[in-house]
Amino acid sequence: MPDGALERAELERVDALAERLMDHLQADEGVIARLHIHGAQSKAIQGRVGSLLEAELGFAPEVVLTPDEGLVTRARPDFYYPLSPTTGVIAEVERGGTTANNHDLKDLWKAHIAINANHLFLVVPNELFNENGAVRERPFPKVVRRMGAFFTTPRTAVDVLSVHIFGY
């Protein structure tokens, strides 16, 4: 199979995983909404979304990725799904620091430098609330814009084939 056909087949598998995750997130929307309140720990959201990723889709939690030669990092995403011995999908579940602390960009960097991951699933809040319940930030559209910037020109390209962004 030519490289282009292999890449298309890989992207189809990743898109199918993304569709399944989206379906599960939509079905679990009420539970996630009850967990997504001001002051809640990010582990609550990560645990709920993680249970879907693990039980329904076969992702493994906190797998240490193979480091690239010369890089000292031992990247450990929230979740990882191997597509083959040489590629896979990193899934990261974010909350309060999504854009304020650039967690979205760190997650993209993690996928970029990983030699056995070429795809990123980012699960981010649509909105963050203050203690009065008012919306203080809308991370989802900002993440979409920021991730899109890496797929517009060769100058800004990263070694990541796809990024799927899910809002909760």
The domains of the chain are located at: 3-167
Residue 155, token pair as written in the block:
């100058």
For residue 7, count other CB atoms closer than 10 A to its CB: 14
In this prediction, residue 67 carries a pLDDT of 66
* Separation CA 37–CA 166 (nearest Å): 18
Residue 107, token pair as written in the block:
């997650």
In this prediction, residue 75 carries a pLDDT of 79
**pLDDT for 61-96, tens place per residue?**
998 887 666 565 677 899 999 999 999 999 999 988
In this prediction, residue 97 carries a pLDDT of 85
In this prediction, residue 40 carries a pLDDT of 82
* Separation CA 39–CA 128 (nearest Å): 10
What's the whole-model pTM score? 0.90
Query: For residue 22, which amino acid is it?
Result: M
Low-confidence ranges of the chain (pLDDT < 50): none
Q: Report the candidate in 2, 95, 17 with the shortest Cα–Cα distance to residue 56.
A: 17
Residue 60 C-beta-side C-alpha neighbours within 13 Å: 9
In this prediction, residue 79 carries a pLDDT of 97
In this prediction, residue 47 carries a pLDDT of 93
CATH class of 3-167: alpha beta
In this prediction, residue 2 carries a pLDDT of 63
Helix (H) or strand (E) holding 163: strand 162-167
Whether 105 contacts 97, CB under 8 Å: no
In this prediction, residue 65 carries a pLDDT of 80
